[in-house]
Structure 1
Amino acid sequence: MRTPAPSCPKYRSSGRFLKGLPLSGRCLGNLPRKKSAKRTNTTVRAALAERPPKLERKSAEDGKVPYNWQTEWYPVYITEQMPKDRPMAFTLFDTPLVLFYDGTGKLSCVEDRCPHRAAKLSEGQIIDGKLECLYHGWQFEGDGSCSKIPQLTDGAAIPRAACVRTYTVRDRQGVVWVWMGKESEADESKLPYWNDLDMEGFRVDSHIHDLPYDSGILLENLMDPAHIPISHDKTDPNGRREDAQALWFDVTERTDRGFAGGFGMTKPRADGTVPGFTGRFVAPCVFNSRREWVDKKGNKVVSLALILCPPTGQGKSRLIIRFGSTLKMPPIPKFFIHSIGCKVFEQDMGLLSSQNELLVKANQGVKDLYLPLKSSDGWVIEYRKWLDKVGHGMPYYTGYSTFSPPRAPAVVDQAPVGSVAAIAANNPAFGSLGAQYALDPTNRYIRHVVHCKDCRKSLKTAQTLRSAALVLAAISGLAGIAAAQKSARIWGAAGAGACLLVAWGAAKVAELLTTNFVRDHRKL
């Protein structure tokens, strides 16, 4: 009987779920308020009253501060979307990792590389809670130790070096977080926590999008409320071109780990409101905006947008976005809501991809590339200046005045076989050579649907319904043609027409989940 080797002492890590965490380090975004100076418009005064007070700065604005990107928690997935029966690959700063549920039902994270011949473990399968490399059948436990090597001679012990590096995992408030440093240094106080998510009656919708540009570009975009009325006119609920205007930004807190404050409009929107928000950015990649108000019935209403942007690698990023509110939402199918989110990101995609390309080629900070406005780009510049302080502790970054390029160029997988393999390795879904599954970071299916159980189910249902409706339409039509009585022919034609209408509707649903939005002036 073969004797399993102990796990690598250097890389041992825990995959236990988080319980009873301390509340220190909570990222609440619930800042106190103070009333602003009088303005002529009472609605404006109400909005400005939501501005938080000036807080004492806890670190200098200029100069570098100690920072290590590895001693951070990174959000990598939504817990309820994690596949139970197969591994899920991802990267952080181009470091290949893989998540899976081990034999005890706990989430484990290991390096996505088999120690035997460097094949991707995420190309493998889960057998009895063990991650099996499908190249030669080596199997690994959640603690990184190897428990089976089919090619060993009888009685031979599994080599001690036959293990994979593990990373500490936590499941908190529905999000999977991974600590990139040593387990002994895992700092629970750095895990964000939002009280609003535990509020009674608070409803949350979460979804994932993989995007073809750096996380810095993505965070900058999502911290920019000024672009919404223009870029997302009549798409985003807050997007109306006529509402484009000067905004106010107050940075009320700066620390080595981020910044916080308030922002809002200076003039009423078309609907007569002048909303104000609080916002907070916390290292390494978390931003949230929050609004609280009292409705016409005197009830307190809270809305929260959590934006989690793990830096997956050069020219790519992942967005885990969570929208929550105490408002009762209308019964709209999730696939439709998510398709609107996909459309929003597609409206920005060409802009942000080209911006990413320019910044990579420029090899400098954004100071001489941007012409920022205080009434438009407050959070953007604050974020870039934060990178000036801590970027030296990252693999690469572009700050406001400084920058550091990647040490190694990005790897672009262009080989057909490699492309198919990358789909299976980097997404919790099986790929093929079909257009729907083509490895294209701009493809709506690859960006979002593979990460969403609701959208995958809706797509499968729509495709099945379309096929069935077409078959029934053909049968009904043929039956009508063959019928001797006029009434039967009419009913046959009507049935065929109804089935074709159902098939058309199902095709439109499938199109929402697989077809990108293109602006009219960009269509050929």
Structure 2
Amino acid sequence: MNLHSMTTLNVHRQHAVPRPGVSSQALSSGAFRQRNSSLSALQQRQSSSCSRFLLSSLATAQPIYKTTLKQHGQSRVSVQAATVEQVTAAPPEQEAADGAPPFSWTSRWWPALALDDLDPKRPTHVDLLGKSLVVFGDTKGNWHCLEDRCPHRLAPLSEGRMEGDNLMCSYHGWQFNSQGKCTSIPQIDDPKAHATACNSPRSCAASYPTKKHAGLLWIWPESSPEAKLTSASAEHQPPDLPHVESPTRSAWYIREVPIRYDMLLENVMDPSHVPFTHHGIQGNRNKIINGAYHLVGEMSPAGYSMARHNVDANGKETPPIGHINFLSPYRALYNFGPMMVEFWAVPTKPGHSKIMASFPLGVSAARLQAMGVPAPLRLLIGITSKLKKAVPAIDHLERNAVIDGDTYMLHVAERDLYGPQMKGRWQQEYYMPANADTGVVAWRQWFQRFGQQEPTSQLPAPPLLPREQVLDRFNQHTKHCVHCTSALTAIDRTLVAAAALCFVAVCTAVSNAIVIACGNAGVAGVTAVSMSAAVPEMAKAAFQPWVVGPLLLALTMVALYVGLQKVRARFIYTDYVHALRD
């Protein structure tokens, strides 16, 4: 039996459901250790040379992970190779007894909204960690966050309006300042009674700290008196993001999808799905380059790192060519040389999450030249990058197509995994014999050890949604994005102008044809008699420049109208059918 066969056998056994009469504890302790001890001896004899090579290769990746851990306050780093079966091997009692401190989901800054998308003239609703919140700005350019619920009759404050620096509830006109204190109750005329009511804690709306950073509005989802002090401390600040703030990066792309937080990150940490799910957009299913993935360093509440190795024709693994890092609780960082891409997953409400991303716009001309890219193609790449920077909606349409590729599949799979039959038991329901699944298993292990108390995962997800709702680009992204909303408005105005111009051009062509035909027939004026005499000349008049020109303009407007309608649909809804993508 070779090493691959043993690996498959080991994973298959781990995913098996315990036999009747055998407790899961006994299986995970006695039987588990006995089985692994015998397999371990065989593996050591059959793969010693390969293991030495892997460990030496992984050692080269240690500095990258060491830097990552230091950013999260960790000091101890070890380097080890981990296969899929080793990651899943930890028995439940080890998971519970590893001494890890409880992971706090609320005592930290969370990215919530792009600053570009906020309108200071109106409040904005936002869901975060199961909390319903409202964000509004003041006349000084600051942004504030309150619970999206008026303490009077529970109406959503996000349906309100701005009155100076105060947020007014549109139900009965109560007003609240940036700290959530009630400043006006129009229904009370007596000054003393009004002051008493406004000073009552029951008239206040819960407030949450906010912060502007890296083009985003961040929210600290705790409203306790200590939250303001804790959120301002140096050790609790959002991460430094110099690469995201670079002028060569795209504008923030944010889309809320009907997928749980853990399912979304499971997908992001799985690079092997890309050439199949995103064929023709970010990969090619016919050109697969399999590699090997191994964990680097120790998994901790701060996250973990995974190295990618290529494998040559002899089965030898190269040194790491890149790393995929999970920086808890929301960042997935793909770091492959000059290409650094961030995908963020933010839990919003049960069964829903936001995916947030910023992408490098192209590669420098010098690097493209060094890669042997022809000059015309380098020029095209440069123009495309500048166009995406100038018109972010172009880049967002491309991102929408990527998200559509796997959203519906994840939505359906999630309802199965967390349905009444499977109950989230991924170890039993997933069959993952390949090393390519290392990222999935590593993420699931991290979430099992540190993330079980994630707030939106504690409640059942909504039922299966229709396909049109799952892939609804407009409500998930377009209407919240200032760039795409502006582009859609411009398209709608252009459609109206194109239709009007087409009508005018057709009328002009017909009028000119009649005038020319009447002139050729030798009749003056347009009457019933003159028209009957001019009919034979109409065919000749149709080829005159004064007729052909307006007709060509009308045809151009028709083509523009049809083309813009197709582009417009890409902002609203576009079905993604994998069977038709060749």
- TM-score, scaled relative to structure 1: 0.75
Taking the aligned partners of 2:311 and 2:240, their CA distance within structure 1 comes to: 31
- The number of residue pairs the alignment matches comes to 434
**Larger proportion of helix:** 2
Are 2:416 and 1:358 aligned?
yes
Taking the aligned partners of 1:131 and 1:227, their CA distance within structure 2 comes to: 46
Shift of 1:62: 3.1
Q: Which residue number corresponds to residue 176 of structure 2?
A: 140
Contact 1:249 1:378 in 2 (8 A): yes
Taking the aligned partners of 1:78 and 1:373, their CA distance within structure 2 comes to: 40
Contact 1:210 1:441 in 2 (8 A): no
Q: Which residue number corresponds to residue 21 of structure 1?
A: none
Shift of 1:230: 0.8
Taking the aligned partners of 2:138 and 2:438, their CA distance within structure 1 comes to: 45
Distance 1:165 1:66, change over 3 A: same
Contact 2:160 2:169 in 1 (8 A): yes
Taking the aligned partners of 1:234 and 1:275, their CA distance within structure 2 comes to: 26
**Larger proportion of strand:** 1
Shift of 1:219: 0.9
Q: Which residue number corresponds to residue 378 of structure 2?
A: none
* Deviation digits for residues 157-186 of structure 1 (CA, Å, limit 9, x no counterpart): 143221111111111111221112322332
* Deviation digits for residues 458-517 of structure 1 (CA, Å, limit 9, x no counterpart): 111111111111111111111111212222222221121122122223222212212313
Taking the aligned partners of 2:120 and 2:428, their CA distance within structure 1 comes to: 48
Shift of 1:520: 5.9
Structure 2 residues without counterparts, runs of 5 or longer: 1-47, 51-56, 67-75, 80-89, 365-381, 517-540
Are 2:210 and 1:169 aligned?
yes
Structure 1 residues without counterparts, runs of 5 or longer: 1-36, 40-46, 293-301, 398-404, 415-437
Shift of 1:392: 4.3
Q: Which residue number corresponds to residue 297 of structure 2?
A: 252
Distance 1:153 1:115, change over 3 A: same
- Superposition pairs of residues 91-490 of structure 1, within 5 angstroms: 91-155=127-191, 156-157=194-195, 158-159=197-198, 160=200, 161-181=202-222, 182-186=227-231, 188-190=234-236, 191-197=238-244, 202-236=248-282, 238-266=283-311, 276-292=321-337, 302-324=338-360, 327-328=363-364, 329=382, 330=384, 331-333=386-388, 334-361=392-419, 362-373=422-433, 375-395=435-455, 397=457, 405-406=458-459, 409=460, 440-483=469-512, 484-485=515-516, 486=541, 487=544, 488-490=546-548
Taking the aligned partners of 2:412 and 2:438, their CA distance within structure 1 comes to: 22
Taking the aligned partners of 1:144 and 1:278, their CA distance within structure 2 comes to: 44
Contact 1:102 1:141 in 2 (8 A): no
* Deviation digits for residues 97-148 of structure 1 (CA, Å, limit 9, x no counterpart): 1111124321111111000000111111122121111100111111111111
- TM-score, scaled relative to structure 2: 0.68
Contact 1:213 1:352 in 2 (8 A): yes
Superposition CA RMSD, Å:
3.3
Distance 1:115 1:497, change over 3 A: same
Distance 1:392 1:449, change over 3 A: closer
Taking the aligned partners of 2:504 and 2:242, their CA distance within structure 1 comes to: 57
Taking the aligned partners of 1:85 and 1:267, their CA distance within structure 2 comes to: 59
Contact 1:205 1:324 in 2 (8 A): no
Contact 1:253 1:259 in 2 (8 A): yes
* Deviation digits for residues 394-433 of structure 1 (CA, Å, limit 9, x no counterpart): 3364xxxxxxx42xx457899xxxxxxxxxxxxxxxxxxx
Taking the aligned partners of 1:444 and 1:131, their CA distance within structure 2 comes to: 30
Taking the aligned partners of 2:400 and 2:101, their CA distance within structure 1 comes to: 37
Shift of 1:51: 3.9
Contact 1:278 1:289 in 2 (8 A): yes
Shift of 1:218: 0.8
Taking the aligned partners of 1:262 and 1:66, their CA distance within structure 2 comes to: 27
- Superposition pairs of residues 16-55 of structure 1, within 5 angstroms: 51-52=61-62
Shift of 1:307: 1.6
> Could you say what secondary structure the match of 2:323 adopts?
strand
Contact 1:449 1:455 in 2 (8 A): yes
Task: Return the index of the structure with the highest Cα Rg.
Answer: 2
Consecutive aligned runs of 4 or more in structure 1 exceeding 6 Å deviation = 47-50, 58-61, 411-414
Taking the aligned partners of 2:441 and 2:263, their CA distance within structure 1 comes to: 12
Taking the aligned partners of 1:122 and 1:312, their CA distance within structure 2 comes to: 16
* Deviation digits for residues 206-238 of structure 1 (CA, Å, limit 9, x no counterpart): 2111101101111111111100011111111x4
Distance 1:252 1:501, change over 3 A: same
Q: Which residue number corresponds to residue 73 of structure 1?
A: 109
Taking the aligned partners of 1:249 and 1:336, their CA distance within structure 2 comes to: 36
Identity %: 24
Q: Which residue number corresponds to residue 72 of structure 2?
A: none
Contact 1:169 1:177 in 2 (8 A): yes
Taking the aligned partners of 1:226 and 1:461, their CA distance within structure 2 comes to: 38
* Deviation digits for residues 326-366 of structure 1 (CA, Å, limit 9, x no counterpart): 72453334323211211111111221001110122122331
* Deviation digits for residues 238-280 of structure 1 (CA, Å, limit 9, x no counterpart): 4453125243233334222211232254369xxxx99932222
Taking the aligned partners of 1:354 and 1:68, their CA distance within structure 2 comes to: 29
Shift of 1:49: 9.8
